[in-house]
Amino acid sequence: MAGVVLDDLTKRYDGGALAVDKLNLDVHDGEFVCLVGPSGCGKTTALRMIAGLEEITSGEVRIGDRVVNNLPPRDRDIAMVFQSYALYPHMSVRDNMAFGLQLRKTPKADIDKAVLEAARILDLERFLDRKPGQLSGGQRQRVALGRAIVREPAVFLMDEPLSNLDAKLRVQTRAEIARMHTRLQATMIYVTHDQVEAMTMGDRIAVINEGVLQQAGTPKDLYELPQNRFVAGFIGSPSMNFIDLKVTQDGGVLRLVGEGAEMRPDDTQAALLRDQGVETVTVGFRPEHLELATLSGPGLSVTVTVDVVEFLGNDELIHGSSEGRDVVAIINADNTLTVDQSVTLSSPPRRLHLFNPTTGLRIASDGLPRGDLVARRIGTS
Amino acid sequence: MSVQAASLPAATPVAAPAAKRQRRGLRPSRIVINVVLAAIAIFWLVPSIGIFIISLRPNSAFEQSGWWTVLTAPAQLTFSNYQNLFSAGFKPGGVLDSLTTSIAITVPVTILVTLISSLTAYSLVFGRWRGRTLVFLVIVALLVLPLQMALIPVASLYKVFDNATGLQLFGSVIGTIIFHVAFGLPFGIFLMRNFYSGIPHDLLEAGRIDGAGEWTLFRKVVMPIGIPALASLAIFQFIWVWNDLLVALIFLSGNPHGTLTLFLYGQTRALANNYYIISTGAMISIVIPLIVFFAFQRYFVRGVLAGAVK
C-alpha cells in the first residue's frame, strides 16, 4: 500500500490545450479520494497521468516514495478500472482476472487462489468459465473490479466505473466498491462527474474545473464550507441558489438588499463584510435550507413566485423565480403551494454562504477552516 | 449483489436461440427457401462434378461418351488417371513436383502476408508515431496499382539485382514469393488495419496496466481478437496465390519446377486429347484450397468483441 502525491501536475496537449493545470493533491495511504468535476474538466486526464497512460507535461507523480513519471504503467504497482470495463473478450472471466498475474510470472497455484478469492468476494464464482459477452453489465463491471483486486496493487484507479450501469445497479455496485475499500484498506482514486457518487464514497473529494483544482476536502467540508462559487454550485443536489445583493449601512446597521430579497447578516458576517469592504456580495443558499417563514432576526428572506411544484413524497421541490432569478427550494410537503403563488422563503445566517462576486471566492476570515487545499485560480460557473 | 446475479439463469443465453431455431425450422416458407438454395447449390456444383467424373474415367471413354453416362454405367469409373499421374513421382515438371512447388510458394506467402499485415496494422492503429495516416493512405493507393503493370519492371529489377549480386532471384521460388508478398501486403494491411481500428484502445491500456509489453499485447490481446480477419485474409491470400498463373509464368520461367497452374497450362497447350490429365490435375489442385478453407472457416466467428466494452 502507498499514498499518491501529485505535485504541480500539468498536462498540455500538442495543440496547446491545457487539460490539467498545476494539480497538487496528497492522497494518503489507504484513503479513498474522489476526483470530481464536469465533463472535460481534466479529471480523467489526471488519473491517466497517474496510471502512466498519458505523458506528463510537467510536475511530478509520486506513488509511495517513488517518482513514477517515467515508469511504464506495469511498474507503477497500480490497477485501473475503466469506464468501458475493457475486458478481454476472447478470454474467460477466470483468464481475464488471471492475465495480470500470469504476466508477472506468479506461480499457478497462487494465481488460482487469488482469482477464486476475488471471485468469492465479488460473487462471480459461477461465471468463472464464461466469456465477458455472456455476462450482464453489472457482472462485467464486477469482473473488471476482480481483475484489479487479484493484483493487490498499491493504488486502485477507477475511471467512472459506474456510469454505464443502470440506476439500481449503480447503487449496488457503489456499495460493493465501498465494501471493497473497507476490506482491502487500499488507496483508491476514483474519478466521477457525479457529485452524489463522490459525496457518498469519498473520504475526501477534490473538485476540479477547467483543469484547476478548486478545493479538496471531506464531503462535509465541501458541503458546508465551499471555498468558491464553483464548488458551492457543483456540490449538493439540487444546486445552491445564488443572489447578488448590495451592501448598505442603515444607521450603523449593515444590510444586504436587492430586488425581492434582503439579508441581515449576523455579527460575525457583518464584521467580515466591514473588514473586506465589499460593495456587492453573492449570497449562496441551498434549496434544502429554505423554509416558508418570515424572519424576525438575522438571515435571508426572498420573495418567490412559484413556477413548478414537484412532489417528492415527504418534501416538495419548488422551482420559483424572484425578479428574473431562478430559485429552487425543498420544503415540507405539508405546505400546500400552488403555481403562481407568491411566497416568502427564508434561511438562517449560518446556512448562508457569502462570495465575492468579482473573484468568486468565499468571503471568510483567515481563521475559518477551509479545505486542506485552496484554489489557485477560480473559475466561476 | 448476489440476489441480482442469481436472478440471471445460467442457461438463458444458450437455450433461447436454440429454441428459436427449432421453431423456425418448421415453417413452410423456410422449407421452400431451403429447396431453392439446394437446387442452386447443385446447379453450381455440376461443372465440378463433371470434372471430377472425367478424372475418374479412362481417356478412351472421354472421346466416346459424355461424363453423365456414369450415372447409368458406374462400372467405367477407375483411378487409373490418378495412378498414371502419381506414378511419375517427383520428376521435374510432373504433377507431384508441381504440387510441391505450389505449396512451397503459397504457404510461405500466406504466412508472411498475414503476419506482416497484422504487425503493420497494429503499428498503424495502436502505435504512437507521426505520419501513420499518411503511410496508410499510401498503402491504400498501392491497392489500385494493377499487378500486370508491375510484372516487367519488377522482372527487370530482379535481373539487375541478379547481375549485380550473382544470386538468382529471377526464375526462383524465392523471387516469386517476394513478388506475391509485396503485392499481397497492401490488401492485407488495409483489411487488418480496418479490423483493428474497431478494437477499443481501452483494451490495450488495460493490458498495459496488467503488465503487458507491446509484443505481448499483440500476441495475447490483439491477434486473438483479430482471428476472424486473419482467417479471411489467410484464405483469400492462399487461394489467390494457389490459383496464380501469370506471376508464375513470368517469374518461374526457365525453372524446371513449375507450379500446378503451370503444369495444367502445359497440358492445355498440347491439344485437346489431354483432358484426362487436366481434369485429374484440376481435382488435385482443388483439394488443397478446400482443406485450407475448411480448416480456417471455423474461425469466422462473428461478434468476437462482444462484452469487451460496455
Is the Cβ–Cβ distance between A43 and A102 less than 8 Å? no
Q: What are phi and psi of A188, to 5 degrees?
A: -130, 135
CA distance B229 to chain A (A): 14
The SS3 call for residue A334 is: coil
Q: CB-based contact (8 Å) between B4 and chain A?
A: yes
Answer yes or no: are the C-beta atoms of A2 and A68 closer than 8 Å: no
Query: What is the DSSP track for A116-157?
Result: HHHHHHTT-GGGTTS-GGGS-HHHHHHHHHHHHHHT--SEEE
Q: Do B210 and A176 count as a contact with CB atoms less than 8 A apart? A: no
Identify the band that residue A364 occupies on the pLDDT scale cut at 50, 70 and 90.
confident
Share above pLDDT 70 across residues of chain B, in percent, rounded to a whole number: 86
**pLDDT at residue B51 in the model:** 87
Give B140 to chain A, closest Cα distance, Å.
Answer: 28
Sign of CA dihedral A274, A275, A279, A280: negative
- Asked whether residue B93 carries a pLDDT value surpassing 70, the answer given is yes
What stretch of H or E contains A249?
Answer: strand A241-250
Per-residue model confidence (pLDDT) at position A368: 43
Torsions phi, psi for A318 (to 5 deg): -105, 125
ipTM score? 0.81
The residue extents of the domains of chain B are: 2-78, 87-297
Q: Chain A interface, mutation test: which of B1, B8, B14, B299, most A Cβ atoms within 10 Å?
A: B1
Q: Do A126 and B209 touch (CB under 8 A)?
A: no
Beta-carbon separation of A82 and B205 below 8 A: yes
User: How many other C-beta atoms are found inside a 10 Å radius of the C-beta of residue A261?
Assistant: 23
Closest Cβ opposite residue B209 in set A80, A126, A139: A80
What confidence tier does A166 reach under pLDDT thresholds 50, 70, 90? confident
pLDDT per residue over A19-73, tens digit each? 999 999 999 999 999 999 998 899 999 999 999 999 999 999 999 989 999 999 9
- Does A78 touch chain B if contact means CB atoms closer than 8 Å? yes
Cis omega before residue A238 (within 30°)? yes
Take residue A257 and report the three cell numbers written for it. Answer: 438588499
- pLDDT band with cut points at 50, 70 and 90 for residue A370: very low
Cα–Cα–Cα angle for B8, B11, B15, rounded to 5 degrees = 125
Q: Report the pLDDT value the prediction gives residue B193, as an integer from 0 to 100.
A: 93
Kindly indicate the confidence band of residue B303, based on its pLDDT and cuts at 50, 70 and 90. Answer: very low
Minimal CA separation from A218 to chain B, in Å: 28
For B205, nearest residue in chain A (alpha carbons): A53
Cβ neighbours, 10 Å, residue B18 = 9
Give the separation between CA B138 and CA B239, rounded to whole angstroms.
Answer: 26
Cell, residue B257? 519446377
pLDDT of residue B75: 72
Confirm or reject contact between A82 and chain B (CB < 8 A).
yes
Do B220 and A151 make contact, defined as CB atoms within 8 angstroms?
no
Mean pLDDT of chain A: 88
CA atoms of B172 and B170, how far apart (whole Å): 5
Mean pLDDT across A90-96: 94
Among B92, B214, B220, B194, CA closest to B139: B194
Do the Cβ atoms of A86 and B310 come within 8 Å? Answer: no
Of B210, B307, B308, the CB nearest to A100: B210
Closest CA of chain B from A242, distance in Å: 39
Contacts of A139 in chain B (CB under 8 A): 5, 8
Query: A359 touching B, CB under 8 A?
Result: no
The model's pTM? 0.79
pLDDT above 80 (res B133): yes
Average pLDDT over residues A297-323: 91
Confidence of residue A365 (pLDDT cuts 50, 70, 90): low
Q: Which residue has the higher pLDDT, A127 or B18?
A: A127
The third-level CATH classification (topology) of the domain covering B87-297 is MetI-like fold (1.10.3720)
Domains, chain A, ordered by start:
4-229 (3.40.50.300), 240-374 (2.40.50.140)
Mutate to test the interface with A, among B8, B130, B210 (most CBs of A within 10 A): B210
Mean pLDDT (chain B, rounded): 83
A200-252 confidence digits (pLDDT tens)? 889 999 999 999 999 999 999 999 999 999 999 999 989 999 999 999 987 77
Q: Is A74 on the interface with B (CB under 8 A)?
A: yes
**A246 and B CB contact within 8 Å:** no
Closest residue, chain A, to B14 (C-alpha): A134
What would the pLDDT profile of A136-163 be if each residue is shown by its tens digit? 888 998 899 999 989 889 999 999 988 8
Q: Which amino acid is at A171?
A: V
What is the Cα–Cα distance from B115 to B194, expressed in whole angstroms? 16
Nearest to B307 among A80, A89, A123 (CB): A89
Establish if B211 touches chain A: CB-CB under 8 angstroms. yes
CA distance B296 to chain A (A): 17
Let me know the angle formed at the C-alpha of A48 by A193 and A213, rounded to the nearest 5 degrees.
55
Give per-residue pLDDT as tens, B255-268. Answer: 888 898 888 888 87
Measured distance CA(B309)–CA(A82) in Å, rounded: 9
Neighbours of A118 (CB within 10 A): 24
Predicted confidence (pLDDT) per residue in A287-305, tens digit: 999 998 888 889 999 999 9
Whether the per-residue pLDDT at A272 is higher than 50: the answer is yes
Read off the pLDDT of residues B229-242 as tens digits, 9 standing for 90 and up. 898 899 889 999 99
Phi-psi region of A222 (alpha: psi -120 to 50; beta: other; left: phi over 0): alpha
Residue of A nearest to B11 (CA): A134
| A334 contacts: CB under 8 Å, gap ≥ 6 | none
Closest Cβ opposite residue B8 in set A103, A133, A136: A136
| pLDDT band, very low/low/confident/very high, at A378 (cuts 50, 70, 90) | very low
The C-alpha cell that represents B105 in the structure block: 510458394
Lowest mean pLDDT among A62-66, A182-186, B26-30, B249-253: B26-30
Q: Given pLDDT bands bounded at 50, 70 and 90, which one contains residue B5?
A: very low
Contact A133 B307 (CB under 8 A): yes
B223 touches A at CB < 8 Å: no
Tell me which chain A residues have a C-beta less than 8 angstroms from the C-beta of B217.
none
- Binned at pLDDT 50, 70 and 90, residue B25 comes out as low
∠ CA(A294), CA(A356), CA(A262), 5° rounding? 15
Q: Is the pLDDT of residue B174 over 80?
A: yes
Selecting from A84, A99, A140 the residue whose C-beta is nearest the C-beta of B200 gives A84
